[in-house]
Amino acid sequence: MDGYTGIKVHTVTKDLPLSQLKDMCDANDIITNPDYQRNYVYDTKRASSLIESILLGIPIPVVYLSEEENGTYSVIDGQQRITSFVSYLKNEYRLTGLTELSQLNGKYFKALEKDVQRKLNFSSLRAICLDKDSQELKYEIFSRLNQGSISLRPQELRNCIYRGSFNDMLKDIARNNKLLPLLFHDKNTRSSYEERILRFFVLRESMILDNTYVNAMNQYMEIHQNDKESDIHKAKALFNGTIDIVKQILGEDAFFSCGSKKRKKFNGAVYDSIMIPFSFYEKVELIAKADIIRSEIANIKMTDKEYQENVYAGTNARPKVFARIGKIWDLLIHVTGKNGMTPENRFFENNMKQQLFYPGYRCSYCGNEILQYEDCEIDHIIPFSKGGSTDISNAQLLHRYCNRCKFS
């Protein structure tokens, strides 16, 4: 076939007794959590079911390993199975929920009869081992094996597919920023922190998404996958600086939706609405008005019906994203008297809107007359995301409703 590169995946199939698998993991000859893998997520009941299955002789799905340059093996697929078996042989959990071998429920490995221990020790798990000459293909294999998995979350898959400097930065922030547990009020399970940090960068670049959240975040990761060190440093400083000023001004309940005890938990939509506008201001501008900002945001959360609607239900709808971010941004503009930083010249100056408007001006979206200056918003003719300039030659006026509705 013309153009065929002749690339082949070189593998060896091995049957590894569970006792050998345990010894290899203990010696770090098998790495169960390489950089592209997720954390262990099986609960005790599911892990116990694996033990029961292998004792009953039920076939266990094959695992995939990759030989590294130093002769060790990393797990491409099968982390949950391997960890479940090894953890049980190390007496780290009791069997529970067994149906066919219910007499074993409640028992650690050390409490099993000797013949049952031997059967487990000598039972084998089949492994397909990718040799070191094909080592770089492990990411592609991992991606393909997990592409259709309903248990693999989007950020866990991105962690594999879009490995690079940007993904490393997300993991670094999630691991080392001490404010995140205080403000998120949960643990970083299955890359949830990394996804929230990524969401910040995606929305900051484009408050109005031209795609679904999943696709938009995938595209952003692909574009920034191998950002240079200076850009990574700036991005990291931006996020860390923004979350710091939010904590200083709004406290640990910054991302709660309102004062009700029933709402005392992290709300991703509230997080969007605060983090994005705050990120465009210098700290000194916000600190100088901290008391007013804190009071006004609390008032919006408690009394503003439109804002509440935009953070409670259907929160990923683009008009709602735009509206809730715009609500807090309008507040900051009113309190500080400034639009915030415009590092990429993304936002039109107010005087451009004044220059464009005149009695009889017709909305560029719906074609109907805009009756009052206050009823319109300025918009790019050629979208900023597609290279459109932010000057009067590329500006048009739309009804405020039309400008937000066009993104639905």
Q: How does pLDDT run across 343-356, given as a tens digit for each residue? A: 445 567 667 888 88
Residue range 40-66: mean pLDDT, rounded: 86
3-state secondary structure the chain: CCCCCCCCCCEEEEEEEHHHHHHHHHCCCEECCCCCCCCCCCCHHHHHHHHHHHHHCCCCCCEEEEECCCCCEEEEECHHHHHHHHHHHCCCCCCCCCCCCHHHCCCCHHHCCHHHHHHHHHCEEEEEEECHHHHHHHHHHHHHHHCCCCCCCHHHHHHHHCCCHHHHHHHHHHHHCCHHHHHHCCCCCCCHHHHHHHHHHHHHHCCCCCCCHHHHHHHHHHHHCCCCHHHHHHHHHHHHHHHHHHHHHHCCCCCCCCCCHHHCCCCHHHHHHHHHHHCCCCHHHHHCCHHHHHHHHHHHHHHCHHHHHHHHCCCCCHHHHHHHHHHHHHHHHHHHCCCCCCCCCCCCCHHHHHHHCCCCCECCCCCCECCCHHHEEEEECCCHHHCCCCCHHHEEEEEHHHHHHCCC
Q: So what's the pLDDT on residue 294?
A: 96
- Does pTM surpass 0.75? no
CA torsion sign for 50, 55, 61, 66 is: positive
For residues 406 and 408, give the distance between their C-alpha atoms in angstroms, rounded to a whole number.
Answer: 6
Average pLDDT, the chain: 83
Which region among 127-136, 139-148, 226-235, 289-298 has the lowest average model confidence (pLDDT)? 139-148
Domain count, the chain: 2
Task: With respect to residue 244, please indicate whether it lies within any of the assigned structural domains.
Answer: no
The residue out of 124, 152, 180 marking a domain boundary is 152
Task: With respect to residue 271, please indicate whether it lies within any of the assigned structural domains.
Answer: no
For residues 230 and 165, give the distance between their C-alpha atoms in angstroms, rounded to a whole number.
Answer: 11
For residues 120 and 114, give the distance between their C-alpha atoms in angstroms, rounded to a whole number.
Answer: 10
Task: With respect to residue 272, please indicate whether it lies within any of the assigned structural domains.
Answer: no
The residue out of 101, 132, 152 marking a domain boundary is 152
Task: With respect to residue 51, please indicate whether it lies within any of the assigned structural domains.
Answer: yes
For residue 143, the enclosing domain spans 11-152
Question: How many angstroms separate the most distant Cα atoms in the chain?
Answer: 92
User: What is the number of other CB atoms lying within 10 angstroms of the CB of residue 332?
Assistant: 23
Task: With respect to residue 304, please indicate whether it lies within any of the assigned structural domains.
Answer: no
For residues 250 and 255, give the distance between their C-alpha atoms in angstroms, rounded to a whole number.
Answer: 9
For residues 119 and 19, give the distance between their C-alpha atoms in angstroms, rounded to a whole number.
Answer: 10
Residue range 389-399: mean pLDDT, rounded: 83
Residue range 102-112: mean pLDDT, rounded: 94
HSE-CB for 83 with a 13 A CA cutoff: 18
Task: With respect to residue 386, please indicate whether it lies within any of the assigned structural domains.
Answer: yes
Q: So what's the pLDDT on residue 150?
A: 42
Q: Are 378 and 393 in contact (CB under 8 A)?
A: no
For residues 318 and 11, give the distance between their C-alpha atoms in angstroms, rounded to a whole number.
Answer: 47
Task: With respect to residue 326, please indicate whether it lies within any of the assigned structural domains.
Answer: no
Q: So what's the pLDDT on residue 386?
A: 58
The residue out of 121, 152, 183 marking a domain boundary is 152
Task: With respect to residue 53, please indicate whether it lies within any of the assigned structural domains.
Answer: yes
* Residue with the larger pLDDT of the pair 179 and 346: 179
